């Protein structure tokens, strides 16, 4: 029987745990008797012929590293049909019959396009944002939040020492999951997310005043990137309540660092699942976590799903940070 050849790439924003997923794809592919190529810089690697055959040792000592050893990119060119055809042709020229795409839902649209051009693709959710509707979990989310809580805990030390209010913006694009969980874990007095309509007087000012009445003197407010405006909010709090306020945008610190146990394990499970699908000649699927289990879904079905924000968890946060 002819030896199957597959490839793996990382696309979109990097996320801690992507390396663990790459390692799982390479090792489980080779273990099944396949040849496995690493593609550099997302879809650009397929357009520029920038690939390298991997062996078992190519992915040694990467499981604990942040970033992605394959580099990543946002390729505008790949959005064009002509480029997708060219990438598929390149894959065929190398004998590559399947590609594992580790990235967010933009990358999955690319995977669908490449499958339509004749190369089986499997998506693996890799983004710190946890914003992929079809999966309860995306690789990188846990590490990003653990970094965020460490940073917010430090910010609290100084806010507490000065009796200040600290307003911290965390990442997440249009998704409030990092803000919600980080806010709970750091005891934020208020949490603003794009999924829940807010009113500054009711959801920030009144909450601060109420906690002041029971003796609280410093405050942490966590704001999702999709809400933004932390500098203005700091000025408003100073003006409205006479409390010194400082704004911090955590930024890309949340994207780096050694992946947590959860990200390493989930990435390994998802990478393994992706290869087992390609081994069966199956493409156009996304590996997902549903009810805590790793499974897979049709890519079209997955991309059509709408994200559900955990309103109950938000309610819990609001009823205990008082």
Residues catalogued as catalytic? 129
Is residue 123 within the footprint of ligand F6P (CB under 6 A)?
Answer: no
- Does residue number 104 form part of the binding site for ligand ADP (CB under 6 A)? yes
Nearest residue to 126 via CA among 30, 293, 13, 230: 13
* CB-nearer residue toward ligand F6P: 41 or 255: 255
Nearest to ligand F6P of 9, 88 (CB atom): 9
> Which residue bears the tokens 């100084």?
158
The partner in contact with residue 128, picked from ligand F6P, ligand ADP, none with C-beta cut-offs of 5 to 8 angstroms by kind, is ligand F6P
- Number of Cβ within 10 Å of residue 131's Cβ equals 21
Residue 219 pairs in a beta bridge with 165
- Is residue 17 within the footprint of ligand ADP (CB under 6 A)? no
Dump the DSSP string for 9-26: EE-SS--TTHHHHHHHHH
113 is in the binding site of which of ligand F6P, ligand ADP, none (Cβ under 5 to 8 A by kind)? ligand ADP
Window 112-151: contact mask with ligand ADP (x via CB under 6 A): -x-------------x------------------------
Q: Which does 263 bind (CB under 5 to 8 A by kind): ligand ADP, ligand F6P, none?
A: none
Judged by CB under 6 A, does residue 78 bind ligand ADP?
yes
User: For residues 232 and 301, which CB has a smaller minimum distance to ligand ADP in the complex?
Assistant: 301
Considering only 37, 40, 43, 90, the residue that binds ligand ADP (CB under 6 A) is 43
From edge to edge, which strands make up the β-sheet containing 293-298? 51-54, 35-39, 5-10, 96-103, 120-125, 285-290, 293-298
Q: How far is the CB of 58 from ligand F6P (least distance, A)?
A: 26
Q: By Cβ distance, which residue is nearest to ligand ADP?
A: 106
181: its two tokens: 């969980």
Task: Look at residue 172 and give the partner it binds from ligand F6P, ligand ADP, none, a contact being a CB closer than 5 to 8 Å depending on partner kind.
Answer: ligand F6P
Task: For ligand F6P, give the closer residue by CB, 127 or 260.
Answer: 127
Instruction: Give the span between the Cα atoms of 24 and 145, in whole angstroms.
Output: 23
For the four alpha carbons of 221, 225, 230 and 233, in that order, the dihedral sign comes to: negative
> What whole-number distance in Å separates Cα of residue 73 and Cα of residue 115?
20
CA distances from 303 to 80, 205, 284 (A): 19, 38, 11
CB of 102 to ligand F6P, least distance (A): 13
Burial class for 312, CB neighbours closer than 10 Å (0-12, 13-18, 19+): exposed
Residue with Cβ nearer ligand F6P (13 or 283): 13
Give the residue from 321, 263, 1 showing the smallest Cα distance to 137: 263
Q: Does 225 bind ligand F6P (CB under 6 A)?
A: yes
Tell me the pairing of strands 219-224 and 165-170: parallel
3-state secondary structure of 245: strand
Q: Is 13 in the site for ligand F6P (CB under 6 A)?
A: yes
When asked if residue 219 is in the footprint of ligand ADP (CB under 6 A), the reply is no
Report angle CA 261, 266, 272 to the nearest 5 degrees. Answer: 130
**Strand, coil or helix: 82:** helix
Please report whether residue 207 would count as binding ligand F6P according to CB under 6 A.
Answer: no
**Minimum Å distance from CB 191 to ligand F6P?**
17
75 binds ligand ADP (CB under 6 A): yes
Residue 109 binding partner per list ligand F6P, ligand ADP, none, with a CB distance cut-off of 5 to 8 Å that depends on partner kind: ligand ADP
Contact residues toward ligand ADP (CB under 6 A) are 11-13, 42-43, 74-75, 78-79, 103-107, 109-110, 113, 127
Contact residues toward ligand F6P (CB under 6 A) are 13, 127-129, 171-173, 225, 255
């Amino acid at each position: 029987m002819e030896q199957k050849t597959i490839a793996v790439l990382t696309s979109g924003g990097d996320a801690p745990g992507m390396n663990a997923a790459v390692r799982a794809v390479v090792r489980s592919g080779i273990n099944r008797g396949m040849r496995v190529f690493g593609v550099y810089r997302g879809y650009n690697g397929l357009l520029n012929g920038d690939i390298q055959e991997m062996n078992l040792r190519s992915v040694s000592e990467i499981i604990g590293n942040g970033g992605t050893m394959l580099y990543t990119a946002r390729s505008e060119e790949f959005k064009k049909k002509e480029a997708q055809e060219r990438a598929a042709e390149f894959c065929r020229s190398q004998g590559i019959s399947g590609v594992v795409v580790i990235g967010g839902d933009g990358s999955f649209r690319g995977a669908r396009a490449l499958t339509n051009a004749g190369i089986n693709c499997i998506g693996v959710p890799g983004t710190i944002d946890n914003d992929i509707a079809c999966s309860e979990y995306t690789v990188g989310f846990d590490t990003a939040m653990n970094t965020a809580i460490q940073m917010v805990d430090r910010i609290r030390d100084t806010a507490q020492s000065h009796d200040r209010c600290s307003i911290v913006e965390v990442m997440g694009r249009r998704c409030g999951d990092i803000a919600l969980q980080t806010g709970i874990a750091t005891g934020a007095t208020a949490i603003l997310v794009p999924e829940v309509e807010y009113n500054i007087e009711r959801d920030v000012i009144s909450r601060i005043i109420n906690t002041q009445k029971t003796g609280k003197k410093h405050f942490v407010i966590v704001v999702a990137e999709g809400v933004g405006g932390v500098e203005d909010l700091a000025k408003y709090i100073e003006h409205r309540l006479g409390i010194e306020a400082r704004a911090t945008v955590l930024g890309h610190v949340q994207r780096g660092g050694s992946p947590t146990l959860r990200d390493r394990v989930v990435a390994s499970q998802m990478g393994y699942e992706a290869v087992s699908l390609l081994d069966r000649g199956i493409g156009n699927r996304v590996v997902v976590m549903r009810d805590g289990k790793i499974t897979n879904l049709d890519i079209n079905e997955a991309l059509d799903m709408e994200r559900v924000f955990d309103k109950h968890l938000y309610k819990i946060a609001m009823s205990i940070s008082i």
